[in-house]
Structure 1
Amino acid sequence: MRRFVLCLLAVIATALPAWSEPVKGSLLIAGGDFKLENPGWSRLVDLAGGKGAMILVLPTASGDPVGSGGRIVEHLRSLGANAMLLPLAEKGFDRPPAAIVSDPLWVDRARHAGGFFLVGGDQSRYTAALLRADGSDTPLLAAIRAAHAAGAVIGGSSAGAAIMSATMIKDAPETLDLLDAGPIAGRTLGPGLGFIGPDWFVDQHFLARGRFARTLVAMDAAGYTRGLGVDENTAIIIRKRQEAEVVGASGVVLLDTRTATRRPGWPFAQTGTVVSLLRDGDRLDLVSGTVTPGPTRAAAPIAPSSPGFAPDPELPSILATGDILAPWQFGRLMAQVLESRQGQATGLAFDAADPARRPAFRMLLSRRSDSQGWAGNGVTALNLSLDVEPVRMADPLFSPAQP
C-alpha cells in the first residue's frame, strides 16, 4: 500500500513547478473557523500591499460560493483592500470553471494581484478547477504562482489551507481506521497545490478535531518528515518559505519525524516523533527550526531541565486520558506534560462501543532533555516526544460494579 502511494505521489510531483525558483511572497495558512475579528485578516491586507491592494477571493471549494466568497470580499473591503470575487466554482456563476481558468482577463488580474484568499469547503474542488487532467497548471494557477513568486500573499482557511502542501488529505476515513489499515489508495491522499514548497505537510482544524494521528499516517505514506497542524481561528504566516509567525486564538503544532522510528506495516506504530506547540506571536525559522516566543510569553520561560524548575502544583501526579483524539485534548496534554512533575502523559484511542473490532492505540507524550517552553495566554511547548503503538483492549471493556 505505502509503495503504491509513494509511486503515485512521485508521478504527481513531476507535474509540479520547480521548487528551486525563489519566492518573495507570503502565505497565510488558517486552520478553519477563521473569525472576522481575527487580526490575521488585517495582516493579509498588509501583506498584499496595504490599503487599495487587489485581493482576489476564490470561493471554489465552498458549497455556497457566492455567499461565502461575497462575505469575505466585503470584509476585506472594510479593511481597505480592493477585493474582488473570482467566479471560479462549479455552481453559482454563469461560466464554468474551465472557461474562467483560461480567461485572459482573469489570468491578467491574477498576475497583477497583491493577494489571494482561498475559501474553505471541499479542497478537491480547488485541484479539480486549477489543475489540468495531467496535473499541470492551468493558466490561472500559473498566474497565481507568478504573482506569489513576485511578492503576492496567498491566504486560505480550512480547505484553502489543505491545498498549501504538494500532497493533501482529500477524503480521509475515520482516524482509527486510518491508523489500523493506512490510506485508501486513490482516495485518502491526492495532489495539493504546493504553495508551501516540498518539505512541509499541512493539516487543518488540527487540535479542535484531534487530527495529529491522521497527519502522522499521511506524512508517513507520502514521505514527509515535517508537518504543520494549524488549529481553528489561528493562522501561521510564512514569509519567503523561511520565516513563520503564529497569529490567532489557539495554536500550531509542529511534527518532526526525522529521528522517529516507524515499525513497518499496519497497524501504525511509531516512536520518537518530536512535537511542539506554538502560540500567538511565536516565531519559527523554518530553516534552522529556532523558535522565538511571542512578546507576551518571552519573560515567562518554562525550563524543566533546569535546577529551579517548579512543576505546576495544580496538575495531577499522573496524566492520562481515555480519548486523546477528543477536541483540543492533544494540545492540553502537551502543555500539561511540559509543566508536570513526571513529564509524561498516556492517552488512548479506541472504539468504546466495540473495542475488539479493530486495534486500539496507546499514545505516550514525554518530555525530553531539550524540552522547554513559555507561559502566558496559552503555553508554548517545544520538543516533546510522541510514541504511538497499537494495543488490544479488554472485551468487554467494563462490567457492572458489584454492590
Structure 2
Amino acid sequence: MRTPFRSRRTVLTGGAAALVLTLTISPAAGAGTDAAPRQSGSLVLVGGGLKDDNTQVYGEIIERAGGTKARIGVITASSVPASQDPYAGDPDKCSNSECNGEYYSKVFKRHGAADAQWIPIDLDHISNADADAVVRQVNSMSGFFFGGGDQSRYLTTLLNGAAHTDSKVLAAIRAKLAAGAVVAGSSAGAQITAGTDMVTGGESYEGLRDGSSPGYFEDATRLGYEPEGGFGFLRSGLIDTHTGAYGREGRAMRLAADTGHDRVYALEENTALVVEHPGGPRERVRVLGPRGVAVFDLRRARVQGEASARGTAGRHGTWSLSGVRYDYLTDGDRYDPRLRLTLPAAGKRPLAPLSTTPVPANTDVFYSVANPAGVPYSFLTTARALAATRAQRTAEATTYEDGPRFTVTFAKTPGFTTWSGDGATPQTLTGMSIVVAGR
C-alpha cells in the first residue's frame, strides 16, 4: 500500500549567486557501513501486492521457518486498529490489524504451516509490545511476517519513541532472527526492515524536482524519509517497494543520493528478495517470484546541483545524477552485496540483441500519477527494449511533467549483459548505466 504521510519539500534559493557543486558519493557514506549485528537467520522481503496463491514466496517463508513444523507469528501493526475501521464487525469488508492478521494466518496455514498466529500489537494495544505474555508467544514462533500498511505505525508500536530502542517484543524477534529464524514482510512490512533513512513516501517526479526531507507528511507526492530508519535488519542498501508498479525508480535514486547511500534494493510486487545472513560478511541475496528486483549502485555516482547536502533540495532544473549502475534481477538470480556481483540463475544465458527496431519513445518514464494514460513498469520497459536491440547503444526517456522535465539516459556501457532463460526475451540485466538530468 502507499503510505498516507509524505515528506514536505525543501527548496533553497539564492538567485544567480546560488552555490552549485558536484558531489561524489563515497561507499563510506553508504548504508553498507552501518553497524549491524550478524544474523544467522534470513529475510524474505516482498515489494507489496503479495498474492495469496504465490506458492513460491509463501513456501519459501514456511520452509525457512521449519517446513511442516513452521510456526509463523503475524504482525500487522501497520494497519489501522479495529477502533478506526468502520467495517470492523464485517469479516467481508474489514481492513484492520486484527482481521488482516487473521487473513495472513489462514493463508500461511493453507500453504502448509503447522500454525500461524496474530501477534496482538497495534495502535489499540501498544502496551502489548512490552507484555511478557506476548514475548512468550513470540518466542514460541519459528518465523515472522510483517504485513503492509503504513510503516510509521510499526515505529509507533514496536519502538520506544525518540530513543528508537526496541520494545520487548521487537527485541525478542531480533534475537530469534539472530538465532536462525526467518523474518518476512510485504510492502510496509519490507520497508520497516531497513536501516537508516527509511523512505516514508513520495513520488519520483516531485522527489527529483524538490529533493528529500526528513519526516512524514500529508502531501502524498513529497519525498520523505525517517533518518533513524526502521528495525535495521537489512543495512546493505536502502529498500523501496512497489517500484515499477508505482514508478518509484526516480525517488529511489534521489533519496540514495541525498542521504549518501550507495545502493538501493528496489523491490517489485509479488516478488521477494531473499537475504541470507543479513548484516554479516556472508550476506547474499536471491530473487524469487514472477517479477524482479532492481539494484541501483551509486558507488561511482556524481550529483550536480545546488546544495546537494543531506536533506536539502536542488533548485528546479539544476539537479542531475550520473554514473548509476542498474542491474535488474529476476527469478533465481543471486547477488553478492560485498562483491556487488549479479549471478544470473542457472539456465539463463547471455542474449545477443538481434532486433534492429529502435527503442520506442517514452514520455512518462516514472509512470506519473498525473498521466491518466500512463503505463506501469515504464522504466523497465525502456531498459529491456534497449537491451533487445542492436540498433542503439543508448536510449532516452523523459518525465511526463515538464516544469522542469527530467531526461533519463539508459546506456549499454562496456560490460553490459542481458540474460535470458528462453533465448529470446531479455530478462536479467547487468551493468546498464543510468543518467538522470533536469532541464
Same fold (TM over 0.5): yes
Q: Residue 2 of structure 1 contacts residue 221 of structure 1 at CA under 8 Å; is this kept in 2?
A: no
Q: Residue 77 of structure 2 contacts residue 122 of structure 2 at CA under 8 Å; is this kept in 1?
A: yes
Task: Within 5 Å, give how 1:201-280 maps onto structure 2.
Answer: 201-241=238-278, 242-265=283-306, 266=314, 267-280=318-331
Task: Within 5 Å, give how 1:167-182 maps onto structure 2.
Answer: 167-172=197-202, 174-182=203-211
Kindly indicate whether residue 142 of structure 2 is the aligned counterpart of residue 114 of structure 1: yes
Displacement of 1:318 in angstroms is 4.2
Task: Give the aligned residue type for 1:209.
Answer: Y
Displacement of 1:301 in angstroms is 1.4
Whole-angstrom distance in 1 between the partners of 2:432 and 2:335: 16
The answer for the alignment partner of 1:343 in structure 2 is 393
Whole-angstrom distance in 1 between the partners of 2:267 and 2:141: 26
Distance 1:386 1:135, change over 3 A: same
SS of residue matched to 2:234 = coil
SS of residue matched to 2:245 = coil
Kindly indicate whether residue 163 of structure 2 is the aligned counterpart of residue 127 of structure 1: no
Task: Give the aligned residue type for 1:36.
Answer: D
Task: Within 5 Å, give how 1:71-220 maps onto structure 2.
Answer: 71-81=103-113, 82-91=115-124, 96-97=125-126, 99-133=127-161, 134-166=163-195, 167-172=197-202, 174-187=203-216, 188-190=224-226, 191-220=228-257
Gaps of 5+ in 2: 1-9, 13-30, 81-95, 217-223, 307-313, 368-375
Identify which of 64, 68, 72 aligns with 2:100. 68
Distance 1:108 1:185, change over 3 A: same
Kindly indicate whether residue 70 of structure 2 is the aligned counterpart of residue 53 of structure 1: yes
SS of residue matched to 2:230 = coil
Distance 1:18 1:179, change over 3 A: closer
The answer for the alignment partner of 1:360 in structure 2 is 405
Distance 1:231 1:62, change over 3 A: same
Task: Give the aligned residue type for 1:312.
Answer: S
Q: Residue 204 of structure 2 contacts residue 249 of structure 2 at CA under 8 Å; is this kept in 1?
A: no
- The aligned length equals 357
Whole-angstrom distance in 2 between the partners of 1:205 and 1:288: 26
The answer for the alignment partner of 1:398 in structure 2 is none
Task: Give the aligned residue type for 1:344.
Answer: T
SS of residue matched to 1:331 = helix
Displacement of 1:331 in angstroms is 1.3
SS of residue matched to 1:147 = helix
Displacement of 1:52 in angstroms is 2.1
Task: Give the aligned residue type for 2:194.
Answer: S
Task: Give the aligned residue type for 1:317.
Answer: P
Q: TM-score of the superposition, structure 2-length normalised?
A: 0.77
Q: Residue 359 of structure 2 contacts residue 386 of structure 2 at CA under 8 Å; is this kept in 1?
A: no
SS of residue matched to 2:412 = strand
Task: Within 5 Å, give how 1:367-382 maps onto structure 2.
Answer: 367-376=412-421, 379-382=427-430
Displacement of 1:185 in angstroms is 3.7
Q: Residue 319 of structure 1 contacts residue 344 of structure 1 at CA under 8 Å; is this kept in 2?
A: no
SS of residue matched to 1:198 = coil
Runs of 4+ residues deviating >3 angstroms: 194-197
Structure with the greater relative contact order (CA < 8 A, sep ≥ 6): 1 or 2? 2
Q: Residue 115 of structure 1 contacts residue 153 of structure 1 at CA under 8 Å; is this kept in 2?
A: yes
SS of residue matched to 2:417 = strand
Displacement of 1:80 in angstroms is 2.7
Displacement of 1:291 in angstroms is 2.2
Q: Name the % identity.
A: 28
Gaps of 5+ in 1: 4-12, 303-308, 392-403
Displacement of 1:229 in angstroms is 0.4
SS of residue matched to 2:396 = strand
Distance 1:238 1:321, change over 3 A: same
Task: Give the aligned residue type for 1:86.
Answer: I
Identify which of 383, 404, 423 aligns with 1:334. 383
Whole-angstrom distance in 2 between the partners of 1:262 and 1:194: 29
Distance 1:199 1:87, change over 3 A: same
Q: TM-score of the superposition, structure 1-length normalised?
A: 0.84
Displacement of 1:366 in angstroms is 0.6
Task: Give the aligned residue type for 1:251.
Answer: G
Distance 1:155 1:2, change over 3 A: farther
SS of residue matched to 1:177 = helix
Displacement of 1:320 in angstroms is 2.9
